[in-house]
Amino acid sequence: MLAAADGLLRGYWAAGDDAYIAGLRVLTPWPGHNLPWEKDSFNYYHSSSRTFVEQVFGQIVGRWGVLWRPIRFSVSCAALIVRVCARLHKFLVERSSPRVDESLWVDCVGGGSSALIMQDQCDLDDRLRQRRRDREPCPLRVALTRRLKQLQCRRPA
């Protein structure tokens, strides 16, 4: 989907966790345990780069109910929806509006038949559970790992 004509622009990629399939447009961590230091370092920096974005996105999702269900539009339309939600969130944060967890509680108590389903409660497709992540091609992951090795960038102790 990200490689489609209305997906990400050429030269851009999305950082995903290990639930996603690695590819030309999706950068995922190296699978496995007891990895060589360069792969372990890549996983550390990859994870660190996603942490702040995931925290803010969690606040945005909590605030805007339109994001409580899958967005069933093209990637470009979904990007516009997320961009508008992010700008509105920024506007409210700068105006010192109520905290997200407070407004989420009020919204949930306020009624409606919607239920908030957390990501770890979703069932994954059996094909994804059985896939060989170590065999997924991801040239960008290989190139960035090689660059970290050249720079001797290691995971902090």
Give the pLDDT confidence of 44-72 residue by residue, as tens digits: 999 988 888 788 889 999 999 889 988 88
Average confidence (pLDDT) over 6-21: 77
Q: Are strands 26-27 and 14-15 parallel, antiparallel or unpaired?
A: parallel
**Can you give the pLDDT at residue 71?**
84
The neighbouring-strand residues paired with 27 are 15
> 73 by DSSP, 3-state: which?
coil
* Domains of the chain by residue range: 14-150
The mean-pLDDT minimum among 37-41, 81-85, 107-111 falls in 107-111
Please check whether residue 26 is in contact with residue 13, taking contact to mean a CB–CB distance below 8 angstroms.
Answer: yes
6-25 per-residue burial string, b: 16 or more CB within 10 A, e: under 16: ebbeeeeeeebeeebebbeb
2 vs 155 pLDDT, higher one: 155
Average confidence (pLDDT) over 139-147: 90
Residue 41 banded pLDDT, cuts 50, 70, 90: very high
Task: For 27, list phi and psi in degrees, rounded to 5.
Answer: -95, 120
Residue 129 banded pLDDT, cuts 50, 70, 90: low
Residue 78 banded pLDDT, cuts 50, 70, 90: confident
> 26 by DSSP, 3-state: which?
strand
For residues 17 and 4, give the distance between their C-alpha atoms in angstroms, rounded to a whole number.
21
